[in-house]
Amino acid sequence: MKLIEYTFLFLCFVSCLAFMPGNFSFEEVQKNFERVNDAYSRKEEYVKMKCRSKEIPEETFGNLFLRAFKKEEMMEIWVQKPDGKYVKFNEFKIYAMSGNLGPKRQQGDCQVPEGFYYINDFNPVSNYHLSLGVSYPNESDMVLSTAEHKGGDIYIHGARASAGCLAMSNYYIEDIYIYAVKAKTNGQQKIPVQIFPFKMTTENMNYYLRFPQLSKNVKLWNNLAEGYRMFEKTNRLPEVYVGTDGYYQFIDPASFSASSK
């Protein structure tokens, strides 16, 4: 199925090139696909209105990141303002996720990953309307999973069915896809995607870690909570690295501001 999708995508892309001028943007290429163009025709004015309401210049719309919470079934869209802080731009219900709380560790477990990723694919001819690839497995997953086959092909997509992906419905994936296209067109090469089991508050951590079947996740969840809390404190994204032990390391965004003074 994957090969068929991408063969068709490649042929469509080649066809687009034949009818386009020498200099064209990522957004212009994407709008040559029927589903993307249709989404733009219905929703671009709404995106512009949201930019105005959040005091974000349209022409520099970018530095976007997506934050998903599995238990709350919610995806948040955040955009950086000119002052460097991020503002919540929108939020959407996640219509379907498979699996349980906890990370994805092997092919076929139907788990939605948990961790710090980025968008690595745009598919305007997806079997699930439109889809955005998530960079699972990342460096952390490669270390922390002992499975020979760790799986892949994790997407944020349309429809309302999931096998390890985040299904947003056809209606809402159009908004998310447009945001991501605009961000990439304006120069953002890696759009972060943060996936958490739940909002990583102290109250939630204490509650969920009471369950014996979830206690195996305590080290990872404490690690994820560190990055979550850094952002909550400053509305600035920390820099994220993966240590040799497979766990995430963060540079507190507060140190960026201090060093620049």
Classify residue 202: in a domain, yes or no: no
What pLDDT score does 8 carry? 52
- Of 206, 196, 260, 258, the closest CA to residue 229 belongs to 196
- pLDDT tens string, the chain, 261 residues long: the values are 454 555 455 445 544 443 444 578 999 999 999 999 999 999 999 999 999 999 888 887 889 999 999 999 999 999 999 888 999 999 999 999 999 999 999 999 999 999 999 999 999 999 999 999 999 999 999 999 999 999 999 999 999 998 889 999 999 999 999 999 999 999 999 999 999 999 999 999 999 999 999 999 999 999 999 999 999 999 999 999 999 999 999 998 877 555 444
The verdict on residue 233 lying in a domain is: no
**225 lies in a domain?**
no
Report yes or no on 235 lying in a domain.
no
d(CA 3, CA 8): 9
Q: Please report which residue ranges of 186-249 form alpha helices under DSSP H.
A: 202-208, 218-234
| Domain-located, residue 243 | no
Q: What is the DSSP letter of 85?
A: -
Total structural domains within the chain: 1
Burial category of 1 from C-beta neighbours within 10 Å (exposed 0-12, middle 13-18, buried 19 and up): exposed
Is there a domain that residue 251 lies in? no
| Alpha-carbon span 230 to 227, nearest angstrom | 5
CATH code of 36's domain:
2.40.440.10
Has this prediction a pTM greater than 0.75? yes
In a domain, 127, yes or no: yes
Please indicate, yes or no, if residue 75 is contained in any of the structural domains.
yes
Range of the domain at 109: 2-194
Q: Which pLDDT score, from 0 to 100, does residue 12 have?
A: 53
Structure tokens, 54? 């959040």
Residue 14: per-residue pLDDT: 43
